[in-house]
């Protein structure tokens, strides 16, 4: 569904798929063996055949699709709303009632999808018939439309009136029950499909399928054909492992301690898990062991890891990585200056924080620095990242530093449910990140460079 | 109950006499010979690709998941209702502080809320209607939004009550058709956009400079999502051409493409590990695509679910997939077993946007009924 359709008012592309699906349901409902049991319904003094009650519709949907009654009611309502089933009592109220109210299937001739688009001419004939049959039977909006149509398609008005008279004459020759059924069907159709007052709307579907497009597609396909793929059995196991590993960390699946703030109105969970806290929670520290990314993405985790690296005299790796990230995600205007800084601090011979990169990567990077761009540090950054990941990170997880952190970590107590459950807690507001940032900026004056306001920095 | 109305439509070049089939809807202008050749070659290669992809598909996800415990009864309720928009809510995004959100609507209003207290903290009126895209900056100090104005603009959030936010507005992205989605990358300094003009683009916020553009969709691009990967260099987009494309942000190349949906793809979202992504489409299905297996690995659908999916997102562990649908409901899927766990009612019109909060404690939905709801 694109805005082009929405802005210009047409939804038919999106709707056609829905109509097909609804029609499948309707056809199943009318299946001679497994479909609905229909009976005759009394409407005033006439007996209408092949009708059903709202209650029956819901029961059938509930049984067939193995869903709840609430969902059946919802689905049934859609079928009524789009005209596949229409009510015999109160025909203008397109709602499915879960009671003995009678309903009928709309004939396929009158399905929206069959007769799309509803033409003004047909609508005019319908209104003319109503007008002729019983003067003054038209509703307010119908009267308005009728006069509007009279103006718009005035040139064919004789045809309209003639057709209306013909159709009325033909219908008089039908049996009364049939006539009523047909009138109901027709009325139901027009309730839903009456053409709007606005005139023809142009609808352009943009398709950018020129030769460039196909050339690109062909190139992409060729590349894709040569790609290395992994067997499904291996990939899919990965999903199982991931979901299992993170199960306890998923508040919607397992709840969270001390309580979910949205449910209990208590923000303790957020306070305990703020960006920087004196003692982190156990779950949080455990998560650092799931992957190197998890450790680096957590400000406290990163800080701890830095402390560890300092002890190992390899902190320059993490500083370097951070500086590279800052270039990649920072302002275009600062790239040149930042690249120079990195060279001075990390790559130049005798640099204060010289990083140990293999000679091939180093040569390539030094060459690239001559014409600095956003991704010039990528190779070097990758090299150092994987160095930390394969070497320092696993050792960190085995270190006392980490183990102590884990041992000290808090396991919050679950908040006992309030004795007075109907008393709602006060919901306190929190300082806006916009505010703390403004204050921080004011306090610090000029930012100190890469470290202070790093790309991923936040103040929560 | 809104009455269904139909407009008499005609294509610019083709006059329609009979009801359109979905195929007719994408009917192209008659092709010249070289174009026809290219098209055939492209289609042949595509079938070959599908054959190759099928070769390594030795098991289905739900089969692998048989050993996993099923999910029990699911209870999620509306915990907050945010009222204040005067028209259809089209988009929303969470702040990293886990409680604030930004939302945009058809009447041009962009509102920043503290969803926890339901207080409105900022409001901006855009000069255009149909603000289809909005995003919160990672720092929490700015929001980006755009729509029918074909632009993406960044508004720094000021706490000075007297200050008019619109005054500090910065125009960043310029497309030749409407803006359908936008997202900051890892910092406040870069924005990724998708547009009705069929392209995606990466922009430098400070200068408004175009850093990279992404061509490859055959029609409007409706959605995008950044990959949570280690190297942070890719993103996925979905469009009206029924394709989901994975892009390299550095080179602008499309590195993977998937075309199994039967209708417009309205939403794409990465699985938390970054190894897969889910999509939601007008064909009423959600699908899961594995990037290493290079194929679709699951379809989430049910015969009783008839209306299109507007928006999808995963729970924190990736076990659940939430879908907002055009029939006003939210369906919750067990990603591994492929079954529908729950259906949530509450909105009174189509659900247009759905996002899980950054810490996974809740998810937020926005709807054409003018409200947003927080569910937990």
Question: pLDDT tens for residues A293-302?
Answer: 999 999 999 9
Residue A385 has pLDDT above 90, yes or no: yes
Q: State whether residue B174 sits within 8 Å of chain A by CB.
A: no
**Ordered alpha helix ranges (H), A247-377:** 251-254, 261-264, 268-272, 282-287, 292-297, 299-312, 315-329, 335-342, 359-369
Predicted local confidence at residue A438, as pLDDT: 60
In angstroms, the separation between the Cα of residue B40 and the nearest Cα of chain A is 9
The whole-model pTM stands at: 0.86
Predicted local confidence at residue B111, as pLDDT: 97
Least confident window among A45-59, B37-51, B305-319, B345-359: A45-59
Predicted local confidence at residue A298, as pLDDT: 95
Residue B51 has pLDDT above 70, yes or no: yes
Contact indicator for A322, B186 with CB cutoff of 8 Å: no
Q: State whether residue B128 sits within 8 Å of chain A by CB.
A: no
Taking contacts as CB-CB distances below 8 angstroms, the residues of chain A near B187 are 329-330, 455-456
Q: State whether residue B38 sits within 8 Å of chain A by CB.
A: yes
Q: Is B7 close to A9, i.e. CB distance below 8 A?
A: yes
Q: Note the residue count of chain A.
A: 460
Q: What is the mean pLDDT of residues B180-200?
A: 95
Q: Is A83 close to B4, i.e. CB distance below 8 A?
A: yes
Residue A217 has its nearest CB partner, among B26, B42, B139, at: B42
Q: What is the mean pLDDT of residues B162-168?
A: 76
Please count the helices (runs of H) and the strands (runs of E) in chain B.
3, 29
Percent of chain A with pLDDT over 90: 49
Q: Per-residue confidence at A459, pLDDT binned at 50, 70, 90?
A: very low
User: What are the structure tokens assigned to B230, written together?
Assistant: 């280690």
Residue A216 has pLDDT above 70, yes or no: yes
Predicted local confidence at residue A418, as pLDDT: 58
In a 10 Å sphere around its CB, with 0-12 CB exposed, 13-18 middle and 19+ buried, how is residue B355 labelled? buried
B 48-87 residues inside an 8 A Cβ radius of A: 48-49, 52-53, 56-61, 64-65, 68, 76, 79-80
**Interatomic CA distance for residues B62 and B297, integer angstroms:** 9
Mean confidence (pLDDT) of chain A: 84
Residue B316 has pLDDT above 60, yes or no: yes
Predicted local confidence at residue A417, as pLDDT: 62
Residue A71 has its nearest CB partner, among B180, B262, B343, at: B343
Taking contacts as CB-CB distances below 8 angstroms, the residues of chain A near B158 are 434, 438
Q: What is the mean pLDDT of residues B153-160?
A: 88
Q: What is the mean pLDDT of residues A201-210?
A: 49
Q: Is A252 close to B186, i.e. CB distance below 8 A?
A: no
Predicted local confidence at residue A18, as pLDDT: 87
The pLDDT tens digits for A27-77 are: 999 888 888 888 777 766 777 777 899 999 999 999 999 999 999 999 999
Taking contacts as CB-CB distances below 8 angstroms, the residues of chain B near A261 are 99, 116, 361
Predicted local confidence at residue A175, as pLDDT: 84
Contact indicator for B169, B176 with CB cutoff of 8 Å: no
Predicted local confidence at residue A118, as pLDDT: 73
Q: What is the mean pLDDT of residues A402-424?
A: 81
Q: Per-residue confidence at A440, pLDDT binned at 50, 70, 90?
A: low
Q: Is A2 close to B206, i.e. CB distance below 8 A?
A: no
Q: What is the mean pLDDT of residues A128-141?
A: 83
Residues whose CB falls within 8 Å of the CB of residue A250, separated by 6 or more in sequence, listed in order: B315, B316, B317, B319, B320, B360
Predicted local confidence at residue A208, as pLDDT: 61
Least confident window among A274-278, B123-127, B157-161, B337-341: B157-161
Predicted local confidence at residue B8, as pLDDT: 24
Predicted local confidence at residue A184, as pLDDT: 84
Least confident window among A185-194, A274-283, B47-56, B299-308: A185-194
Percent of chain B with pLDDT over 90: 80
DSSP letters for A113-133: HHHPSPPHHHHHHHHHHHHHH
The pLDDT tens digits for B236-274 are: 999 999 999 999 999 999 999 999 999 999 999 999 999
User: What are the structure tokens assigned to A97, written together?
Assistant: 């009632």
């Amino acid at each position: 569904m694109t805005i082009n359709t929405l802005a210009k008012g047409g939804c038919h592309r999106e709707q056609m798929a829905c109509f097909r699906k609804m029609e499948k349901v309707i056809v199943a409902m009318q299946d001679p063996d497994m479909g609905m049991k229909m009976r005759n319904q009394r409407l005033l003094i006439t007996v209408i055949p092949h009708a059903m009650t709202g209650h029956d519709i819901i029961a059938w949907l509930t049984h067939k699709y193995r869903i709840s009654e609430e969902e059946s009611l919802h689905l049934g309502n859609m079928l009524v709303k789009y005209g596949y089933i229409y009510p015999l009592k109160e025909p203008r109220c397109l709602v499915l009632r879960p009671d003995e109210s009678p309903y009928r299937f709309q004939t396929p001739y009158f399905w929206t999808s069959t007769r799309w688009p509803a033409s003004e001419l047909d609508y005019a004939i319908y209104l003319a018939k109503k007008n002729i049959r019983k003067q003054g039977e038209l509703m307010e909006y119908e009267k308005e439309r009728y006069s509007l149509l009279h103006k718009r398609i005035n040139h064919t008005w004789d045809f309209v009136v003639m057709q209306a008279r013909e159709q009325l004459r033909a219908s008089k020759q039908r049996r009364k029950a049939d006539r009523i059924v047909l009138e109901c069907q027709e009325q139901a159709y027009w309730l839903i499909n009456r053409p709007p007052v606005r005139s023809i709307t142009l609808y352009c579907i943009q398709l950018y399928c020129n030769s460039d497009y196909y050339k690109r597609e062909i190139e992409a396909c060729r590349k894709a054909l040569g790609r290395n793929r992994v067997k499904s059995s291996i990939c899919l196991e990965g999903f199982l492992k991931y979901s299992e590993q993170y199960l306890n960390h998923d508040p919607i699946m397992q709840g969270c301690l001390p309580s979910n703030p949205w449910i209990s109105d208590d923000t303790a969970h957020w306070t305990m898990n703020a960006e920087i806290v004196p003692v982190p929670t156990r779950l949080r520290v455990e998560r650092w062991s799931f992957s190197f990314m998890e450790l680096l993405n957590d400000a406290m985790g990163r800080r701890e890891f830095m402390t560890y690296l300092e002890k190992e005299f390899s902190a320059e790796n993490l500083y370097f990585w951070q500086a590279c990230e800052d270039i990649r995600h920072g302002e275009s205007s600062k790239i040149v200056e930042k690249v120079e800084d990195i060279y001075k601090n990390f790559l130049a011979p005798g640099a204060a924080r010289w990083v140990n990169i293999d000679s091939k990567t180093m040569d390539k990077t030094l060459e690239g620095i001559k014409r600095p761009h956003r991704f010039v540090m990528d190779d070097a950054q990758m090299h150092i990242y994987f160095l930390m990941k394969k070497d320092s990170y696993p050792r960190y997880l085995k270190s006392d530093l980490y183990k102590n952190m884990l041992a000290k970590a808090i396991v919050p107590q679950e908040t006992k449910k309030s004795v007075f459950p109907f008393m709602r807690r006060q919901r306190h507001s929190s300082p806006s990140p916009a505010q703390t940032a403004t204050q921080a900026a004011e306090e610090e004056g000029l930012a100190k460079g890469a470290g202070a306001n790093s790309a991923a920095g936040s103040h929560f | 109950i809104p009455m269904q109305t139909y407009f008499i439509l005609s294509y610019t070049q083709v006059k329609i006499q009979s009801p359109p089939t979905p195929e007719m809807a994408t009917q192209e202008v008659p092709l010249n010979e070289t174009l026809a050749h290219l098209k055939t070659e492209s289609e042949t290669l595509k079938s070959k690709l599908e054959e190759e992809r099928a070769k390594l598909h030795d098991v289905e996800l739900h089969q692998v998941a048989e050993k996993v415990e099923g999910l029990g009864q699911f209870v999620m309720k509306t915990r907050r209702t945010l009222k204040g928009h005067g028209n259809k809510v089209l988009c929303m995004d969470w702040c990293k502080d886990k409680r604030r959100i930004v939302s945009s609507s058809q009447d041009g209003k962009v509102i920043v809320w503290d969803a926890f207290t339901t207080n409105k903290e900022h409001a901006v009126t855009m000069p255009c209607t149909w603000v289809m895209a909005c995003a919160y900056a990672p720092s929490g100090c700015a929001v980006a939004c755009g729509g029918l104005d074909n632009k993406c603009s960044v508004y720094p959030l000021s706490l000075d009550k007297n200050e008019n936010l619109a005054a500090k507005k910065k125009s960043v992205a310029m497309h030749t058709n409407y803006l359908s989605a936008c997202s900051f990358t890892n910092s406040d300094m870069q924005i990724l956009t998708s547009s009705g003009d069929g392209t995606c683009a990466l922009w430098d916020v400070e200068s408004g400079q175009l850093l990279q553009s992404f061509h490859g969709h055959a029609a409007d691009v409706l959605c995008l999502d950044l990959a949570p990967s280690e190297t942070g260099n890719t993103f996925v987009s979905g469009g009206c051409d029924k394709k989901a494309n994975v892009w390299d942000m550095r080179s602008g190349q499309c590195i993977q493409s998937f075309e199994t949906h039967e209708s417009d793809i309205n939403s794409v979202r990465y699985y938390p590990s970054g190894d897969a992504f889910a999509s939601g489409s007008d064909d009423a299905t959600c699908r899961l695509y594995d990037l290493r297996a290079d194929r679709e690995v699951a379809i989430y659908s049910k015969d009783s679910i008839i209306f299109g999916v507007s928006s999808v997102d995963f729970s924190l562990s990736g076990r659940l997939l939430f879908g907002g649908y055009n029939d006003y409901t939210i369906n919750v899927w067990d990603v591994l077993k492929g079954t529908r766990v729950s259906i949530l009612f509450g909105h009174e019109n189509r659900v247009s946007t759905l996002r899980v909060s950054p810490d996974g404690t809740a998810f937020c939905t926005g709807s054409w009924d003018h409200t947003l709801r927080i569910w937990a």
